[in-house]
Amino acid sequence: MRLVRRFIARGSALAAVGALFVAPSVAAAQTQGTTDRQVTFTKDVAPIVQRSCVGCHRPGEMAPMSLMTYEDVRPWARSIKARVAAREMPPWHIDRTLGLQSFKDDPSLNDEEIATIVKWVDSGAPRGNPADMPPAREFADSSQWQIGKPDLVVKFPTYVVPPAGPDQFGNLYADIPIDSDRYIQAIQTRTTTAQARKVVHHALSYAVDGPQETNGDDSQGVDGGQFLVEYASGKNAEVYPADTGVLLQAGKKAMVSYHLHSVGEEVKADIELGIKLHPKGYVPKHIRWSKQLAQPTVDLDIPGGTVARTDGYTVLHKPARIIAFQPHMHIRGKRQCFELIYPTAGSSATTEIINCANFNYNWHLTYNYKDEVAPLVPAGTILHVITWHDNSSANKANHDPKNWVGDGQRTIDEMGFSWIGWYDLTEEEYKQQLAERKELQSKPVTATGGQQQQ
């Protein structure tokens, strides 16, 4: 039911833009299928909760309560209704009315699933027939490596989180024991104990030259450093597509930028990185990059009580396949849109909105495109990122709507760029991937792509 078809064959810029702003007309169909009978936990709600919630809401993970069983879920029914109806849970902030809608590991609920939960709560949250209950979802022991045995384990120094107090932000460093440049095949951040898992809100890892001046920010990028991997609660291992790797240069230090929070007892936050490497001397066909792109063209200048817009642009000098989009702002962050400006000489079909996402500083979400939609772009494409900051009292996270805010590293300062994940293509690979995409799209499926018409 997702509205994704329109990216396929674009007739004209007008047709494309027209289609972009049509909201999905699913409202009428929302409750179909569940209107005529009682909605129960075991039959209707448990499958949704198992798919979209228990990844975080289970014992030992960082969400505040387990949602594994009816007994777990029942006391939270009202709160669950409120959070899912407001699309606050599961955390996923992509605007569903425009752009690509096909992502890897998308936990978000469709309108029908939300309607089912709302109806279940409104009808008294009945359990239903225990025989309808799906088997509990199995999880690998979260203290095991999901990438298999790593070739390298980088352990960061222990950080002791006090029982109470404000959130802790900062950087920790460790050596990376390699003597020549290597390529990462798979990487995973893990916390070594269930207790540690509870206190780690985010941990972003980089390869850097040495200690950084940044602090007060859990996800600030670094000068000359390379982003390796992001970790947030519920995040699994990153395994890159075949023939793809992330460059790990010899002589760098590993840095983890952390955001930790207190949970009522003293906890040792041990964080480590497990890395599987491609064999020595092997250079993968594609190097996967993830960088902070399209920085605002002007200094951020956001007077108290206002909403400000900035624009940033990055030119891709080679053809590319874009594989991920992650908005980055701080607490005034409101929304970000990611658009492509194609290098067409003529006047038609030169831009395309790829995605817009609302923003909540508590959740730094990466949106990974499914292979069949990952935008394929020609050399000379410009990434255009539009960022809105809300420094008014309408932004609930804004503790200080009277004050001016500008650029800076601290959480109370602002930023506005995107983490973009991509790999470069040769002209030949680009043509080949485009041809494969067209072939796919000529079939009656909902595959899409942001590629330019040739």
Site residues (CB under 6 A) for ligand HEC?
Answer: 49, 52-53, 55-57, 62-64, 76, 79-80, 83-84, 89-91, 107, 109, 233-234, 362
Specify whether the CB–CB gap between 366 and 420 falls below 8 A: no
If the CB atoms of residues 118 and 322 are measured against ligand HEC, the closer one turns out to be 118
SS3 237: coil
SS3 48: helix
Specify whether the CB–CB gap between 313 and 327 falls below 8 A: no
What the block records as the tokens of 282 is 């092997």
- Helices marked H in 86-237 — which ranges? 111-122, 194-199
Classify burial at 123, counting beta carbons within 10 Å of its beta carbon; exposed 0-12, middle 13-18, buried 19 or more. Answer: exposed
| DSSP secondary structure letter of residue 136 | P
| Minimum separation from the CB atom of position 302 to ligand HEC (A) | 25
If the CB atoms of residues 173 and 361 are measured against ligand HEC, the closer one turns out to be 361
Choose among 217, 170, 202: nearest CA to 364.
202
If the CB atoms of residues 80 and 273 are measured against ligand HEC, the closer one turns out to be 80
| Minimum separation from the CB atom of position 112 to ligand HEC (A) | 13
Angle formed by the axes of helices 77-85 and 111-122, nearest 10° = 150
| Minimum separation from the CB atom of position 202 to ligand HEC (A) | 11
| Minimum separation from the CB atom of position 115 to ligand HEC (A) | 13
Which phi and psi (to 5°) does residue 193 adopt?
A: -130, 160
If the CB atoms of residues 101 and 448 are measured against ligand HEC, the closer one turns out to be 101
| Minimum separation from the CB atom of position 266 to ligand HEC (A) | 20
| Minimum separation from the CB atom of position 362 to ligand HEC (A) | 6
| Minimum separation from the CB atom of position 81 to ligand HEC (A) | 8
If the CB atoms of residues 261 and 431 are measured against ligand HEC, the closer one turns out to be 261
If the CB atoms of residues 43 and 384 are measured against ligand HEC, the closer one turns out to be 43
Distance of CA 187 to the CA centre of its chain: 16
If the CB atoms of residues 47 and 107 are measured against ligand HEC, the closer one turns out to be 107
| Minimum separation from the CB atom of position 233 to ligand HEC (A) | 5
SS3 243: coil
Report CA-CA distances (Å) from 358 to 122, 322, 361.
28, 20, 10
3-state SS string for 187-213:
EEEEECCHHHHHHEEEEEEEEECCCCC
| Minimum separation from the CB atom of position 169 to ligand HEC (A) | 17
If the CB atoms of residues 11 and 64 are measured against ligand HEC, the closer one turns out to be 64
If the CB atoms of residues 86 and 131 are measured against ligand HEC, the closer one turns out to be 86
Specify whether the CB–CB gap between 313 and 225 falls below 8 A: no
- E strands, 43-130, are none
| Minimum separation from the CB atom of position 99 to ligand HEC (A) | 22
Q: Are strands 226-232 and 200-208 parallel, antiparallel or unpaired?
A: antiparallel
If the CB atoms of residues 14 and 65 are measured against ligand HEC, the closer one turns out to be 65
Specify whether the CB–CB gap between 325 and 291 falls below 8 A: no
- Rounded-to-integer distance, Cα 236 and Cα 157, Å: 22
